[in-house]
Structure 1
Amino acid sequence: MHELEPFYRWLAYYDPSTDPNSPFEGKEYNYDVYSETVYGYYLAPGWDYIGSETLYMKILYADYEEGYVVFEFIGEWNDALHNDIMHLKRNIVEHFELYGINKFILIGENVLNFHGSDDSYYEEWFEEVEDGWIAMVGFRDFVLDEMKNFNIDSYVNFGGTLQIDNWRTLTPKIFYQLVEQQIQRRIGE
């Protein structure tokens, strides 16, 4: 896992350590020290701790005018043992909601497992975004299947046309527009 790094190409557009509205503003990264682990496996130093023992993230982009943010995740999403959705919701999502963010894109190619509990935090998050939405992109099929078993798909958009494999080839704004377009099609159906 130490070789799986967060996507760095968008740093030219956005750096969470220099964004005064980011929960990671001012964080200094030492790319020579591997200190964070998931189940004893070291993570690349670019990932950020959100309060969970098993799930780490990177804020790839935030656009306060358009009201959206893009997160990338690594590890195991474990609501059953570690209440990862609570950590994400309380420590990261609510922070961005204070700045008018109501559209959330979660990239989960490096989420290796999901253990569900109840859907109350997802429901709360869904209700708070009002005119916005939550979209999961690139999560593995078996992870999405488990999420469906816990009714997460009632609150979060995922699967189908949101499995955008080429997202890394796009700029953040083009990627957002593509996700927005897919969400609007779903809402219109």
Structure 2
Amino acid sequence: MHQIEPYHNWQQYYDASEDPQSPFYGKEYNYDLYSENIYGYFIDPAWDFFGSETLYMKVLFANYEEGFIIIELIGEWNDAINNDIMHLKRNVVEHVMGTGINKFILIGENILNFHGSDDSYYEEWFEEVEDGWIVAINFRDFVEEEMARFEIDSYINFGGHLQVVNWRTMTPAVFFAGVSQLMQRRLQMGDL
């Protein structure tokens, strides 16, 4: 797992550690020291701890004028034991929503497992985005199936056309525009 790095080619556009509105503002990274781990497996020092022992993140891009944020995740999303959604909601989501963010793109290619519990934090998050949305991009099929079993798909959009395998070839603005267009069609037609 230590070889899986968060996507870094967008750092020319955005760096959460240099953004005064980011929950990770001022964080200093030591790329020579692997100190964070998931179940005893060290992870790359570029991943950010937000309260969960099994789930880490990286804010890849935030645009406060457009009201969106792109977050890459790694690890096991475990609501049953670690209440990961609570940590994500309280320590990151609420912080950025206070800056005007209401559209969330979660990239989950490196989510290795999902263990659900109740859906109250998801419901709360969904209600608070009002005119925005929450999208899960490129989560593995079995993770999406488990999330659907816990009815997380009532609050987070995933699956279908929301598998955007070529997102790394885009700029953050182009990626957001594409996801936004897919969401508009999904919300209008209800079938994507």
Same fold (TM over 0.5): yes
Structure 2 counterpart of 1:77: 77
Structure 1 counterpart of 2:21: 21
Structure 2 counterpart of 1:126: 126
Structure 2 counterpart of 1:39: 39
Shift of 1:147: 0.1
Matched residue type, 1:38: I
Shift of 1:91: 0.1
Separation in 1, partners of 2:67, 2:157:
17
Structure 2 counterpart of 1:170: 170
Structure 2 counterpart of 1:94: 94
Matched residue type, 1:173: A
Per the alignment, in what secondary structure is the counterpart of residue 178 of structure 1?
A: helix
Residue-pair matches, total: 189
Separation in 2, partners of 1:64, 1:52:
26
Q: Unaligned stretches of 5+ in structure 2?
A: none
Matched residue type, 1:86: M
Shift of 1:136: 0.3
Separation in 1, partners of 2:62, 2:156:
19
Percent identical among aligned pairs is: 68
Structure 1 counterpart of 2:161: 161
Structure 1 counterpart of 2:142: 142
Structure 2 counterpart of 1:152: 152
Per the alignment, in what secondary structure is the counterpart of residue 49 of structure 1?
A: coil
Structure 1 counterpart of 2:56: 56
Separation in 2, partners of 1:27, 1:49:
11
Shift of 1:9: 0.2
Shift of 1:19: 0.2
Q: Unaligned stretches of 5+ in structure 1?
A: none
Structure 1 counterpart of 2:115: 115
Q: Runs of at least 4 residues of structure 1 off by over 3 A?
A: none
C-alpha distance after superposition, 1:106-151 (max 9, x if no partner): 0000000000001110000000000000000010000000000000
Per the alignment, in what secondary structure is the counterpart of residue 124 of structure 2?
A: helix
Q: TM-score, normalised on structure 1?
A: 1.00
Separation in 2, partners of 1:74, 1:102:
22
Structure 2 counterpart of 1:182: 182
Separation in 1, partners of 2:144, 2:21:
31
Separation in 1, partners of 2:108, 2:187:
22
Q: TM-score, normalised on structure 2?
A: 0.98
Matched residue type, 2:93: V
